[in-house]
Amino acid sequence: MSDAKEVAKKSGPKTKAGKLVVSRNASKHGILSVRPVVAAFESEAAWKSHREGIIDSLAPEGGMEQALAERVALCTWRLNRVTAYETESIAESQAGVQEEVREDREHTLRFASIHTKEAKDIVAGSTLGELVTDPRELSDYAIELLSEPEVALRALESSREHYEAVLKLFDGSPEDTITTAEAGWILEKAPRLAAESAAIDVEDDNENEINEKEIGKQALALTDMLFERIEGKDVLTISELHSHLEWLAHEAGMQDSIGVDGTVAYTPLEALLEVMHTVVHGNLQTREEGAHKVERQMLKKRRERILPSAEDIGKIGRYEAHISRELYRALHELEALQKRRSGEGASAPLGRLDVTT
């Protein structure tokens, strides 16, 4: 290829549209840009408004004063980018906080044999807390699920709903209603708790060990019978729910609790309600601790990222220092020209010191 053709090949775009596109290339480089507006981040309208405000406040006269005022407008415009860059860099850093907490939780669960207590706390603070006894036996899917920080927050919300539903059994009027969805935890857990309570009573009387397998079978049978009694109803009164739970307690084999004076201290229903309250309150406390731990982890990491990184601080500082020097130099020159024009600088020269490093 001849030299002439090579030069022609490298001469750039020929059309007006092509030249306009190329003219914007320098706007990517901020401080070296000859165009004041960075495409996609700043607007021409905002620049014009900013420029007009600065020019009006400085009230330049003549070409040199106008040029210096334009320089001041450009420098202050560029200084605005410092705040924008700082805000964006902090926001980007903050966005990674949740992912870092998730990674910490995943590491703890995958190495549960080393971080035993922490892993148990994570599991206990989730809805799997009542099902998983050993976090070392978690599947990869379960670990990925439990690693998400939102798991602890959702578990706390569910526990609060369960607790409020149980409180209705104590504080609600007989005519008050509760949906079967709201009473879901009660209907799901009551058969197991009734079977366990009955087994504990038998153990106390006969000094036999509790047979967990038999309790599980009985709980499943009681669950089926309980839902048959409800007959698919969507709404129950507190009185109806009490009636179903009382039947459940008797069917499980729970007995009256006799006090030291020989009178009934607790009926089977009262004992079952008390057991449910103890369990649901314990779950709530455990999940509150789990959720608060996640919130503290998030807050700690957010505080660590409230400032830009050391690299960004250095970059921002250098940029701001350079533009500030240019700004004050232009302001001083403009001030000197305006004083000279007004006659103030004729007898008393303007004293100033510009330091450039």
pLDDT at 295: 94
- Cβ-based neighbours of 154, under 8 Å, separated by 6 or more: 127
- Cβ-based neighbours of 122, under 8 Å, separated by 6 or more: 105, 108, 109, 135, 146, 152, 290
Please provide the DSSP assignment of 263-295 as one string: SEEE-HHHHHHHHHHHHHHHHHHHHHHHHHHHH
Average pLDDT over residues 122-150: 90
Contact 175, 241 (CB under 8 A): no
Q: How confident is the model at residue 341 (pLDDT cuts 50, 70, 90)?
A: confident
Average pLDDT over residues 17-44: 57
Within a 13 Å sphere around the CA of 43, how many CA atoms are in the beta-carbon half?
3
Comparing 7-11, 59-63, 211-215, which segment has the lowest mean pLDDT? 7-11
pLDDT at 28: 39
pLDDT at 32: 39
- pLDDT at position 222 over 70: yes
pLDDT at 206: 47
Neighbours of 301 (CB within 10 A): 17
Average pLDDT along the chain: 85
Does pTM top 0.75 for this prediction? Answer: no
Tokens 């504990």 -> residue: 200
pLDDT at 202: 59
Q: How confident is the model at residue 8 (pLDDT cuts 50, 70, 90)?
A: very low
- pLDDT at position 332 over 80: yes
- pLDDT at position 123 over 50: yes
Q: Please, is 117 exposed, middle or buried when counting C-beta atoms within 10 Å of its C-beta (0-12, 13-18, 19+)?
A: exposed
pLDDT at 201: 65
Pinpoint the alpha helices (H) of 149-209: 150-171, 184-206
pLDDT at 345: 59
Distance CA 309, CA 324 (A): 22
pLDDT at 15: 63
